[in-house]
Structure 1
Amino acid sequence: MFKKTISTLAATCFFLIPFSGTADAARIYKTVSYYTLSGTTPAQLDKALAHKGPYIKSTGSRHPGATTISFDPRLKLVQDGRYCKVASVSVDVHAKMSLPRWKQRSTTKSIEMALVWDTLSRDIQRHEESHIVIARSHATKIERSVKSLPYRSNCNLLKQDIEKTTYNILLDHENAQRQFDRAEAVNFDHRFINLLVGRLQKLEQAKQ
Protein backbone atom coordinates (compact mmCIF):
# COMPACT_ATOMS: atom_id res chain seq x y z
CA MET A 1 0.00 0.00 0.00
CA PHE A 2 1.39 3.42 -1.01
CA LYS A 3 4.42 1.56 -2.38
CA LYS A 4 4.68 3.36 -5.72
CA THR A 5 4.90 6.79 -4.14
CA ILE A 6 6.85 6.12 -0.98
CA SER A 7 9.56 3.97 -2.50
CA THR A 8 11.35 7.07 -3.77
CA LEU A 9 11.53 9.19 -0.61
CA ALA A 10 14.09 11.93 -1.09
CA ALA A 11 15.26 15.33 0.05
CA THR A 12 16.88 18.21 -1.73
CA CYS A 13 19.72 20.25 -0.31
CA PHE A 14 21.00 23.70 -1.18
CA PHE A 15 24.25 25.00 0.26
CA LEU A 16 24.89 28.62 1.22
CA ILE A 17 28.44 29.35 2.31
CA PRO A 18 28.91 33.05 3.17
CA PHE A 19 31.82 33.19 5.64
CA SER A 20 31.53 36.40 7.58
CA GLY A 21 30.74 37.90 10.96
CA THR A 22 31.41 36.57 14.42
CA ALA A 23 30.85 33.07 15.64
CA ASP A 24 28.13 31.70 17.88
CA ALA A 25 27.33 28.15 18.85
CA ALA A 26 25.93 26.06 15.99
CA ARG A 27 22.15 25.76 15.98
CA ILE A 28 19.44 23.84 14.13
CA TYR A 29 16.62 25.98 12.75
CA LYS A 30 13.67 23.89 11.57
CA THR A 31 10.36 24.94 10.07
CA VAL A 32 7.58 22.51 9.12
CA SER A 33 4.80 23.07 6.61
CA TYR A 34 1.98 20.70 5.70
CA TYR A 35 0.07 19.98 2.54
CA THR A 36 -3.40 18.43 2.76
CA LEU A 37 -4.49 15.15 1.23
CA SER A 38 -8.08 14.07 0.74
CA GLY A 39 -9.37 10.53 0.17
CA THR A 40 -11.25 7.66 1.71
CA THR A 41 -9.41 4.70 0.17
CA PRO A 42 -5.74 3.71 -0.02
CA ALA A 43 -5.82 4.21 -3.80
CA GLN A 44 -7.17 7.74 -3.42
CA LEU A 45 -4.53 8.68 -0.86
CA ASP A 46 -1.78 7.17 -2.96
CA LYS A 47 -2.95 9.22 -5.93
CA ALA A 48 -3.14 12.36 -3.80
CA LEU A 49 0.42 11.83 -2.56
CA ALA A 50 1.64 11.44 -6.13
CA HIS A 51 -0.09 14.65 -7.26
CA LYS A 52 0.26 16.94 -4.24
CA GLY A 53 3.57 15.93 -2.69
CA PRO A 54 6.40 18.49 -2.85
CA TYR A 55 8.12 18.63 -6.23
CA ILE A 56 11.87 18.03 -6.13
CA LYS A 57 13.73 19.47 -9.08
CA SER A 58 16.74 17.17 -8.72
CA THR A 59 14.57 14.07 -9.19
CA GLY A 60 11.99 15.60 -11.50
CA SER A 61 9.09 14.16 -9.50
CA ARG A 62 6.92 14.65 -6.44
CA HIS A 63 7.60 12.99 -3.10
CA PRO A 64 5.60 12.36 0.09
CA GLY A 65 7.96 14.54 2.09
CA ALA A 66 10.90 16.81 1.46
CA THR A 67 13.49 18.71 3.48
CA THR A 68 15.45 21.62 2.08
CA ILE A 69 18.68 22.17 3.97
CA SER A 70 21.08 25.10 3.95
CA PHE A 71 24.25 25.68 5.94
CA ASP A 72 25.00 29.10 7.42
CA PRO A 73 28.65 29.26 8.55
CA ARG A 74 30.18 32.09 10.56
CA LEU A 75 33.91 32.48 10.68
CA LYS A 76 36.35 34.78 12.42
CA LEU A 77 40.00 34.96 11.32
CA VAL A 78 42.75 36.71 13.26
CA GLN A 79 46.11 37.93 11.99
CA ASP A 80 48.47 37.08 14.83
CA GLY A 81 51.86 38.56 14.07
CA ARG A 82 53.22 36.73 11.03
CA TYR A 83 50.38 34.19 10.97
CA CYS A 84 46.67 34.05 10.27
CA LYS A 85 44.55 31.62 12.26
CA VAL A 86 40.95 30.62 12.76
CA ALA A 87 39.70 32.29 15.93
CA SER A 88 36.21 30.80 15.86
CA VAL A 89 33.81 29.01 13.54
CA SER A 90 30.23 27.80 13.77
CA VAL A 91 27.82 26.35 11.23
CA ASP A 92 24.07 26.67 11.67
CA VAL A 93 21.72 24.31 9.85
CA HIS A 94 18.45 25.64 8.42
CA ALA A 95 15.89 22.99 7.49
CA LYS A 96 12.50 23.49 5.83
CA MET A 97 10.39 20.35 6.05
CA SER A 98 7.23 19.59 4.06
CA LEU A 99 4.96 16.80 5.33
CA PRO A 100 1.51 15.41 4.39
CA ARG A 101 -1.64 15.78 6.44
CA TRP A 102 -4.72 13.60 5.80
CA LYS A 103 -7.94 15.64 5.90
CA GLN A 104 -10.21 12.71 6.85
CA ARG A 105 -7.96 11.28 9.57
CA SER A 106 -10.16 12.46 12.45
CA THR A 107 -13.40 11.29 10.84
CA THR A 108 -12.45 7.99 9.23
CA LYS A 109 -14.25 4.91 10.53
CA SER A 110 -11.76 2.53 8.94
CA ILE A 111 -9.37 1.19 11.54
CA GLU A 112 -7.18 -0.22 8.79
CA MET A 113 -6.92 3.13 7.00
CA ALA A 114 -6.11 4.94 10.24
CA LEU A 115 -3.49 2.36 11.15
CA VAL A 116 -1.79 2.47 7.77
CA TRP A 117 -1.85 6.25 7.59
CA ASP A 118 -0.47 6.77 11.10
CA THR A 119 2.33 4.33 10.40
CA LEU A 120 3.09 5.88 7.04
CA SER A 121 3.01 9.52 8.13
CA ARG A 122 5.28 8.86 11.10
CA ASP A 123 7.75 7.03 8.87
CA ILE A 124 7.78 9.96 6.43
CA GLN A 125 8.49 12.35 9.29
CA ARG A 126 11.22 10.10 10.68
CA HIS A 127 12.81 9.96 7.24
CA GLU A 128 12.87 13.74 6.92
CA GLU A 129 14.18 14.19 10.46
CA SER A 130 17.01 11.82 9.56
CA HIS A 131 18.09 14.18 6.79
CA ILE A 132 18.51 16.89 9.40
CA VAL A 133 20.59 14.57 11.59
CA ILE A 134 22.88 13.87 8.64
CA ALA A 135 23.21 17.60 7.96
CA ARG A 136 23.98 18.33 11.59
CA SER A 137 26.79 15.77 11.67
CA HIS A 138 28.39 17.37 8.62
CA ALA A 139 27.99 20.86 10.07
CA THR A 140 29.91 19.64 13.10
CA LYS A 141 32.54 18.15 10.82
CA ILE A 142 32.97 21.50 9.06
CA GLU A 143 33.42 23.25 12.41
CA ARG A 144 36.03 20.78 13.65
CA SER A 145 37.91 20.58 10.36
CA VAL A 146 38.09 24.34 9.85
CA LYS A 147 39.06 24.95 13.45
CA SER A 148 41.94 22.46 13.16
CA LEU A 149 43.44 23.97 10.01
CA PRO A 150 47.08 25.00 10.49
CA TYR A 151 48.13 28.64 10.61
CA ARG A 152 49.01 30.32 7.32
CA SER A 153 51.28 33.26 6.56
CA ASN A 154 48.29 35.37 5.49
CA CYS A 155 44.51 35.17 5.71
CA ASN A 156 43.96 34.84 1.96
CA LEU A 157 45.82 31.54 1.95
CA LEU A 158 43.87 30.36 4.98
CA LYS A 159 40.58 31.30 3.30
CA GLN A 160 41.56 29.10 0.35
CA ASP A 161 42.16 26.19 2.74
CA ILE A 162 38.79 26.82 4.37
CA GLU A 163 36.95 26.90 1.05
CA LYS A 164 38.56 23.64 -0.09
CA THR A 165 37.87 21.90 3.23
CA THR A 166 34.26 23.06 3.29
CA TYR A 167 33.65 22.14 -0.33
CA ASN A 168 34.87 18.57 0.22
CA ILE A 169 32.70 18.11 3.33
CA LEU A 170 29.65 19.42 1.50
CA LEU A 171 30.27 16.89 -1.26
CA ASP A 172 30.43 14.17 1.39
CA HIS A 173 27.19 15.49 2.83
CA GLU A 174 25.41 15.37 -0.50
CA ASN A 175 26.61 11.80 -1.09
CA ALA A 176 25.53 10.76 2.42
CA GLN A 177 22.03 12.15 1.83
CA ARG A 178 21.71 10.30 -1.47
CA GLN A 179 22.97 7.04 0.00
CA PHE A 180 20.46 7.37 2.82
CA ASP A 181 17.62 7.84 0.33
CA ARG A 182 18.70 4.82 -1.69
CA ALA A 183 18.91 2.62 1.39
CA GLU A 184 15.51 3.79 2.62
CA ALA A 185 13.90 3.09 -0.76
CA VAL A 186 15.36 -0.43 -0.97
CA ASN A 187 14.27 -1.31 2.57
CA PHE A 188 10.87 0.39 2.50
CA ASP A 189 8.68 -2.70 2.11
CA HIS A 190 10.40 -4.63 4.89
CA ARG A 191 10.52 -1.62 7.22
CA PHE A 192 6.91 -0.62 6.64
CA ILE A 193 5.58 -4.14 7.26
CA ASN A 194 7.55 -4.35 10.49
CA LEU A 195 6.19 -0.99 11.60
CA LEU A 196 2.63 -2.09 10.86
CA VAL A 197 3.08 -5.37 12.72
CA GLY A 198 4.54 -3.53 15.70
CA ARG A 199 1.64 -1.09 15.80
CA LEU A 200 -0.89 -3.92 15.50
CA GLN A 201 0.75 -5.74 18.40
CA LYS A 202 0.51 -2.63 20.55
CA LEU A 203 -3.18 -2.28 19.75
CA GLU A 204 -3.82 -5.91 20.66
CA GLN A 205 -1.93 -5.52 23.91
CA ALA A 206 -3.95 -2.41 24.76
CA LYS A 207 -7.18 -4.38 24.32
CA GLN A 208 -6.10 -7.09 26.77
Structure 2
Amino acid sequence: MCDPPKINSVASATAVAQGRQRGNMMKRSLLCALMLACSALPAGTANLVKTYSYFSIGGRTLDDIGSQLTKLGPRVKSTGMRHPGATQMAFTTRVSYAERSNSCAIADADVTVKVKVILPEWRRPRKADAGVRLFWDTLSADIKRHEDRHVEIAKNHAGELEDALKATHPRKTCQEAKAKAAEISAAILAKHDRAQMQFDRVETINFESRILRLLRYRMKRIENGRLPG
Protein backbone atom coordinates (compact mmCIF):
# COMPACT_ATOMS: atom_id res chain seq x y z
CA MET A 1 0.00 0.00 0.00
CA CYS A 2 1.37 3.42 -0.85
CA ASP A 3 0.56 6.92 0.37
CA PRO A 4 -0.28 9.56 -2.27
CA PRO A 5 3.00 11.08 -3.47
CA LYS A 6 4.22 14.52 -2.50
CA ILE A 7 5.25 16.60 -5.51
CA ASN A 8 7.99 19.22 -5.53
CA SER A 9 8.98 21.22 -8.60
CA VAL A 10 12.11 23.31 -9.10
CA ALA A 11 12.74 25.35 -12.27
CA SER A 12 15.81 27.28 -13.47
CA ALA A 13 16.83 29.11 -16.67
CA THR A 14 19.89 28.03 -18.69
CA ALA A 15 21.34 28.47 -22.17
CA VAL A 16 22.13 25.39 -24.23
CA ALA A 17 24.65 25.14 -27.03
CA GLN A 18 24.90 22.19 -29.37
CA GLY A 19 27.66 21.18 -31.74
CA ARG A 20 27.75 18.84 -34.70
CA GLN A 21 30.26 16.09 -35.34
CA ARG A 22 31.18 14.32 -38.56
CA GLY A 23 31.25 10.52 -38.65
CA ASN A 24 32.13 7.82 -41.16
CA MET A 25 30.08 4.78 -42.15
CA MET A 26 31.44 2.63 -39.32
CA LYS A 27 30.53 5.23 -36.74
CA ARG A 28 27.02 5.47 -38.15
CA SER A 29 26.69 1.69 -37.95
CA LEU A 30 27.85 1.70 -34.35
CA LEU A 31 25.40 4.50 -33.59
CA CYS A 32 22.53 2.52 -35.10
CA ALA A 33 23.50 -0.52 -33.03
CA LEU A 34 23.64 1.64 -29.91
CA MET A 35 20.21 3.11 -30.63
CA LEU A 36 18.75 -0.36 -31.07
CA ALA A 37 20.28 -1.47 -27.79
CA CYS A 38 18.98 1.59 -25.98
CA SER A 39 15.48 1.09 -27.35
CA ALA A 40 15.29 -2.17 -25.41
CA LEU A 41 16.07 -0.43 -22.12
CA PRO A 42 13.39 0.94 -19.73
CA ALA A 43 12.44 4.56 -20.42
CA GLY A 44 13.87 7.32 -18.32
CA THR A 45 16.81 7.58 -15.97
CA ALA A 46 15.01 9.09 -13.00
CA ASN A 47 16.86 9.14 -9.70
CA LEU A 48 15.66 6.95 -6.85
CA VAL A 49 16.44 7.44 -3.17
CA LYS A 50 15.11 4.53 -1.14
CA THR A 51 15.19 3.88 2.59
CA TYR A 52 13.63 1.21 4.79
CA SER A 53 12.19 1.46 8.29
CA TYR A 54 10.70 -1.27 10.46
CA PHE A 55 8.08 -1.58 13.16
CA SER A 56 8.18 -4.45 15.65
CA ILE A 57 5.35 -6.87 16.33
CA GLY A 58 5.03 -9.79 18.74
CA GLY A 59 2.73 -12.78 19.06
CA ARG A 60 2.91 -16.57 19.08
CA THR A 61 -0.05 -17.47 16.88
CA LEU A 62 -1.30 -16.37 13.48
CA ASP A 63 -4.17 -14.53 15.18
CA ASP A 64 -1.69 -12.73 17.44
CA ILE A 65 0.39 -11.64 14.47
CA GLY A 66 -2.69 -10.50 12.55
CA SER A 67 -3.87 -8.43 15.51
CA GLN A 68 -0.44 -6.85 15.93
CA LEU A 69 -0.25 -5.90 12.25
CA THR A 70 -3.72 -4.33 12.43
CA LYS A 71 -2.83 -2.44 15.61
CA LEU A 72 0.75 -1.36 14.88
CA GLY A 73 1.01 -1.22 11.08
CA PRO A 74 1.57 2.14 9.36
CA ARG A 75 -1.54 4.21 8.73
CA VAL A 76 -2.04 5.01 5.04
CA LYS A 77 -3.65 8.38 4.26
CA SER A 78 -5.43 7.18 1.13
CA THR A 79 -7.41 4.57 3.08
CA GLY A 80 -7.28 5.96 6.62
CA MET A 81 -6.44 2.42 7.77
CA ARG A 82 -3.39 0.63 9.10
CA HIS A 83 -1.64 -1.82 6.78
CA PRO A 84 1.04 -4.54 7.16
CA GLY A 85 3.42 -2.37 5.13
CA ALA A 86 3.47 1.00 3.40
CA THR A 87 5.50 3.11 1.01
CA GLN A 88 5.75 6.87 1.37
CA MET A 89 7.04 8.76 -1.65
CA ALA A 90 7.85 12.26 -2.89
CA PHE A 91 8.56 13.37 -6.45
CA THR A 92 10.94 16.30 -7.05
CA THR A 93 11.16 17.71 -10.59
CA ARG A 94 13.90 20.11 -11.65
CA VAL A 95 13.43 21.74 -15.04
CA SER A 96 15.80 24.17 -16.79
CA TYR A 97 14.79 26.38 -19.70
CA ALA A 98 16.67 27.79 -22.71
CA GLU A 99 15.28 31.15 -23.81
CA ARG A 100 15.94 32.52 -27.30
CA SER A 101 14.74 35.65 -29.09
CA ASN A 102 11.39 34.19 -30.14
CA SER A 103 11.05 30.91 -28.25
CA CYS A 104 11.66 29.09 -24.99
CA ALA A 105 12.35 25.37 -24.63
CA ILE A 106 12.95 22.90 -21.85
CA ALA A 107 16.72 22.43 -21.86
CA ASP A 108 16.85 19.65 -19.30
CA ALA A 109 14.65 17.84 -16.80
CA ASP A 110 15.59 15.78 -13.78
CA VAL A 111 13.09 13.81 -11.71
CA THR A 112 13.94 12.29 -8.33
CA VAL A 113 11.72 9.92 -6.37
CA LYS A 114 12.38 9.69 -2.66
CA VAL A 115 10.69 6.69 -1.04
CA LYS A 116 10.48 5.28 2.45
CA VAL A 117 9.38 1.65 2.71
CA ILE A 118 7.88 0.64 6.07
CA LEU A 119 7.92 -3.09 6.88
CA PRO A 120 7.03 -5.30 9.86
CA GLU A 121 9.63 -7.14 11.93
CA TRP A 122 8.44 -10.07 14.05
CA ARG A 123 10.00 -10.52 17.49
CA ARG A 124 10.00 -14.28 17.12
CA PRO A 125 9.39 -16.20 20.37
CA ARG A 126 12.14 -18.68 21.25
CA LYS A 127 9.83 -21.68 20.82
CA ALA A 128 7.61 -20.40 18.03
CA ASP A 129 5.54 -23.04 16.25
CA ALA A 130 7.10 -24.22 12.97
CA GLY A 131 3.87 -23.59 11.08
CA VAL A 132 3.67 -20.03 12.37
CA ARG A 133 7.31 -19.44 11.42
CA LEU A 134 6.65 -20.78 7.93
CA PHE A 135 3.61 -18.55 7.47
CA TRP A 136 5.43 -15.48 8.76
CA ASP A 137 8.44 -16.01 6.49
CA THR A 138 6.07 -16.34 3.54
CA LEU A 139 3.91 -13.34 4.51
CA SER A 140 6.79 -10.98 5.31
CA ALA A 141 8.52 -11.79 2.01
CA ASP A 142 5.27 -11.06 0.16
CA ILE A 143 4.79 -7.76 2.00
CA LYS A 144 8.30 -6.66 1.01
CA ARG A 145 7.75 -7.72 -2.61
CA HIS A 146 4.48 -5.77 -2.67
CA GLU A 147 6.02 -2.56 -1.34
CA ASP A 148 9.07 -2.86 -3.60
CA ARG A 149 6.71 -3.10 -6.56
CA HIS A 150 5.14 0.21 -5.49
CA VAL A 151 8.65 1.67 -5.66
CA GLU A 152 9.17 0.26 -9.17
CA ILE A 153 5.88 1.76 -10.36
CA ALA A 154 6.91 5.15 -8.99
CA LYS A 155 10.36 5.00 -10.59
CA ASN A 156 8.94 3.94 -13.97
CA HIS A 157 6.53 6.88 -14.00
CA ALA A 158 9.28 9.25 -12.88
CA GLY A 159 11.33 8.11 -15.86
CA GLU A 160 8.33 8.57 -18.13
CA LEU A 161 7.83 12.09 -16.77
CA GLU A 162 11.48 12.95 -17.30
CA ASP A 163 11.38 11.71 -20.90
CA ALA A 164 8.12 13.54 -21.64
CA LEU A 165 9.48 16.84 -20.31
CA LYS A 166 12.67 16.54 -22.35
CA ALA A 167 10.67 15.78 -25.51
CA THR A 168 8.45 18.86 -25.21
CA HIS A 169 8.52 21.20 -28.20
CA PRO A 170 9.62 24.83 -27.73
CA ARG A 171 6.98 27.43 -26.83
CA LYS A 172 6.78 31.12 -27.63
CA THR A 173 7.60 32.15 -24.06
CA CYS A 174 9.10 30.53 -20.98
CA GLN A 175 5.81 31.12 -19.19
CA GLU A 176 4.10 28.91 -21.78
CA ALA A 177 6.89 26.33 -21.50
CA LYS A 178 6.47 26.22 -17.72
CA ALA A 179 2.71 25.85 -18.08
CA LYS A 180 3.22 22.94 -20.48
CA ALA A 181 5.68 21.31 -18.07
CA ALA A 182 3.12 21.61 -15.26
CA GLU A 183 0.43 20.10 -17.50
CA ILE A 184 2.64 17.13 -18.42
CA SER A 185 3.62 16.58 -14.79
CA ALA A 186 0.02 16.60 -13.61
CA ALA A 187 -1.07 14.12 -16.30
CA ILE A 188 1.73 11.61 -15.70
CA LEU A 189 1.50 11.79 -11.91
CA ALA A 190 -2.26 11.20 -12.15
CA LYS A 191 -1.50 8.19 -14.34
CA HIS A 192 0.98 7.05 -11.69
CA ASP A 193 -1.65 7.28 -8.97
CA ARG A 194 -4.07 5.19 -11.04
CA ALA A 195 -1.40 2.55 -11.64
CA GLN A 196 -0.66 2.32 -7.91
CA MET A 197 -4.34 1.94 -7.03
CA GLN A 198 -4.87 -0.68 -9.73
CA PHE A 199 -1.89 -2.65 -8.43
CA ASP A 200 -3.33 -2.61 -4.91
CA ARG A 201 -6.74 -3.75 -6.18
CA VAL A 202 -5.26 -6.72 -8.06
CA GLU A 203 -3.03 -7.68 -5.14
CA THR A 204 -5.97 -7.60 -2.72
CA ILE A 205 -8.11 -9.83 -4.95
CA ASN A 206 -5.30 -12.36 -5.41
CA PHE A 207 -3.97 -12.29 -1.84
CA GLU A 208 -5.31 -15.61 -0.56
CA SER A 209 -4.44 -17.66 -3.64
CA ARG A 210 -1.01 -16.02 -3.84
CA ILE A 211 -0.14 -16.76 -0.20
CA LEU A 212 -1.27 -20.39 -0.51
CA ARG A 213 0.82 -20.80 -3.64
CA LEU A 214 3.85 -19.25 -1.95
CA LEU A 215 3.38 -21.43 1.12
CA ARG A 216 3.33 -24.57 -1.01
CA TYR A 217 6.42 -23.42 -2.87
CA ARG A 218 8.31 -22.66 0.35
CA MET A 219 7.30 -25.99 1.89
CA LYS A 220 8.57 -27.81 -1.20
CA ARG A 221 11.90 -26.01 -0.97
CA ILE A 222 12.19 -26.96 2.71
CA GLU A 223 11.44 -30.60 1.85
CA ASN A 224 14.13 -30.51 -0.84
CA GLY A 225 16.64 -29.06 1.63
CA ARG A 226 16.93 -25.72 -0.16
CA LEU A 227 15.59 -23.76 2.80
CA PRO A 228 16.04 -24.34 6.55
CA GLY A 229 12.96 -25.74 8.25
Which is further off, 12-21 or 55-64? 12-21
Per-residue deviation, residues 79-111 of structure 1 (Å, max 9, x unmatched): 023211111111011001110000116x24421
> Aligned residues: percent identity?
35
Query: 1:50–1:101: structure 2 CA closer, same or farther, 3 Å change rule?
Result: same
Q: Which amino acid aligns with 1:203?
A: I
CA distance in 2, matches of 1:78, 1:168: 23
The 5 Å alignment of 1:85-104 reads 85-104=105-124
The 5 Å alignment of 1:30-179 reads 30-104=50-124, 107-179=126-198
Q: Which amino acid aligns with 1:97?
A: V
Q: Which amino acid aligns with 2:62?
A: P
Which is further off, 122-131 or 80-89? 80-89
Paired residue total: 196
In structure 2, the partner of 1:12 is 3
Query: 1:102–1:149: structure 2 CA closer, same or farther, 3 Å change rule?
Result: same
Which is further off, 12-21 or 67-76? 12-21
- What's the CA shift for 1:18? 1.6
Q: Which amino acid aligns with 1:124?
A: I
Per-residue deviation, residues 116-161 of structure 1 (Å, max 9, x unmatched): 0011001000000000100011101111111111101110001011
CA distance in 1, matches of 2:139, 2:186: 35
* Unaligned residue ranges in structure 2 (runs of 5+): 15-44
Indicate if the aligned counterparts of 1:84 and 1:154 stay in contact, CA closer than 8 A: yes
Indicate if the aligned counterparts of 1:108 and 1:114 stay in contact, CA closer than 8 A: no
Indicate if the aligned counterparts of 1:89 and 1:143 stay in contact, CA closer than 8 A: yes
CA distance in 2, matches of 1:155, 1:55: 41
CA distance in 2, matches of 1:21, 1:69: 24
- What's the CA shift for 1:14? 2.2
In structure 1, the partner of 2:210 is 191
CA distance in 2, matches of 1:22, 1:93: 22
Indicate if the aligned counterparts of 1:13 and 1:67 stay in contact, CA closer than 8 A: no
Name which one, 1 or 2, has greater alpha-carbon Rg: 2
Indicate if the aligned counterparts of 2:48 and 2:113 stay in contact, CA closer than 8 A: yes
SS of 1:20 mapped into structure 2: strand
CA distance in 1, matches of 2:77, 2:105: 39
CA distance in 2, matches of 1:173, 1:72: 14
- What's the CA shift for 1:58? 1.8
Indicate if the aligned counterparts of 2:12 and 2:97 stay in contact, CA closer than 8 A: no
Indicate if the aligned counterparts of 1:22 and 1:74 stay in contact, CA closer than 8 A: no
Q: CA RMSD in A?
A: 1.6
Q: Which amino acid aligns with 2:2?
A: A
Query: 1:127–1:22: structure 2 CA closer, same or farther, 3 Å change rule?
Result: farther
In structure 1, the partner of 2:25 is none
CA distance in 1, matches of 2:163, 2:128: 53
SS of 2:211 mapped into structure 1: helix
Q: Which amino acid aligns with 2:199?
A: F
